[in-house]
Amino acid sequence: MKIGIIAHLKYPITKPFMGGLEAFTYDICQRLLARGHDVLLYACAGSDPILNVRPILCEEDYRPITSSQFTSRQLSTEYISTHHAYVEMMQEIDKDELDVIFNNSLNYVPIMMSVLVKAPMVTVLHTPPIFELKNAIRREQNYGRVKYVSVSETNAENWKAYAPECDIIHNGIDLTTWAFYPENDRGYIMWFGRIHPDKGLHLAIDAAKLAGRKMKVAGAISDQHYYETEIMPRLDDSIELLGSCNHQQLNELIGNATVSLITPCWDEPFGLVVAESLACGTPVAGIAKGALPKLLDEQTGRLCSGDNVQELADCILAAEQLDRPACRQRAEDLFDVERMVDAYETLFESIALETAVTKMKTNVR
């Protein structure tokens, strides 16, 4: 099949990944190519060329927002550049003669313009309901040109009012690249991800101190204002900031931690960090928001119900006692990337066949 994958445009799709969506897009693109499909990735300039990239946002237009405090002019520039990039892409996409469009853009334009293109579209709901996507999806339902997929049961339930017929395909990771650490004696806990208000690092730091544990932090700063106002004042010798780490470094850091601390401050739609931690054999302590309660069980994690840092500290101490082989086993049972790609590949083939049959019936008439 010829598959066009639409990426979001906040960051290039390249290693080291800024977040889970970049990792998801990279993995599925690479694996579909390896399975012999003809894949085009519509993404930012600077994305990894091995993914057969069709750049739709040039480097001079690529200005990722790194602070929650920005001027209306900056917001307008980002919004307009992204809007125009997607509009121009959708106007020209039929020239690529795609069998299916795989939309991971988090943007309303591909959905709103789906009725104007020949290829059917699969759109993955990587976020909880957000304003511009809600409106686009609600209006697209009148045409039925888009098939929606959610990355978790919880997120599908959140979208039910807008996309009631939504398939569920869990995100996956390449378990062969995550070494299992059956034991550790390093005596620290781990937090990894984007340093952004949504990810709740400030709560993690407070809880680690209450639990009397040193914590290592791996991840890029994606919100400078949050970092300066909420994180810097909390730093001391018990917190070690490591910045962005490559895959091997991250595997070793997580594997040698007693616990991974995962602290979403929003309805986390999935959370690849859960899968990655469990693959290393490291139990999870965190906040029961979004998909986390269904991704973990009593053998692999401890979650508090809110942002009470004392409860979170108690979860850290309890999670340290959990069984590391059970963590790895849950990752193998639920989060294998090949199983994820199998599900998407089956869906693409079904939709492409259905579209071809419909077209054939139309031509006969």
* Percent of the chain that is helix, strand, coil (3-state, to 5): 45, 15, 35
pLDDT beyond 90 at 233: yes
Least confident of 17-31, 38-52, 321-335: 17-31
- Co-location of 194 and 314 in the same domain: yes
Contact 44, 12 (CB under 8 A): yes
Give the Cα separation of 268 and 155 in Å (integer). Answer: 8
- Co-location of 194 and 161 in the same domain: no
- Co-location of 160 and 231 in the same domain: no
Which tokens sit at 30?
A: 């690479």
Length of the chain: 365
Half-sphere exposure of 264 (CA within 13 A, CB side): 20
Buried b (16+ CB within 10 A) or exposed e, 100-118: bbbbbbbbbbbbbbbeebe
pLDDT beyond 50 at 66: no
Read off the DSSP letter of residue 244: S
For 127-180, the pLDDT digits (tens) are 999 888 999 999 998 888 899 999 999 999 999 999 998 999 999 999 999 999
Give the Cα separation of 55 and 44 in Å (integer). Answer: 5
First-to-last alpha carbon distance for the chain, in angstroms, is 26
Given the structure tokens 């750049």, which residue do they identify?
A: 55
- Co-location of 244 and 350 in the same domain: no
- Co-location of 41 and 76 in the same domain: yes
pLDDT beyond 90 at 354: no
- Co-location of 359 and 304 in the same domain: no
- Co-location of 59 and 126 in the same domain: yes
- Co-location of 330 and 349 in the same domain: no
Mean pLDDT of the region 109-138: 94
Averaged pLDDT score across all residues of the chain: 91
User: What DSSP element (H or E) covers 361?
Assistant: helix 337-364
- Co-location of 249 and 328 in the same domain: yes
pLDDT bucket at 362, cuts 50 / 70 / 90: low
- Co-location of 130 and 200 in the same domain: no
Q: Does residue 69 or residue 149 have the better pLDDT?
A: 149
Total tally of structural domains belonging to the chain: 2
- Co-location of 229 and 116 in the same domain: no
What is the model's pLDDT at position 363? 65
The CATH number that applies at residue 311 is: 3.40.50.2000
What is the model's pLDDT at position 19? 80
Q: Does residue 66 or residue 271 have the better pLDDT?
A: 271
* Domain around 101: 2-172+336-364
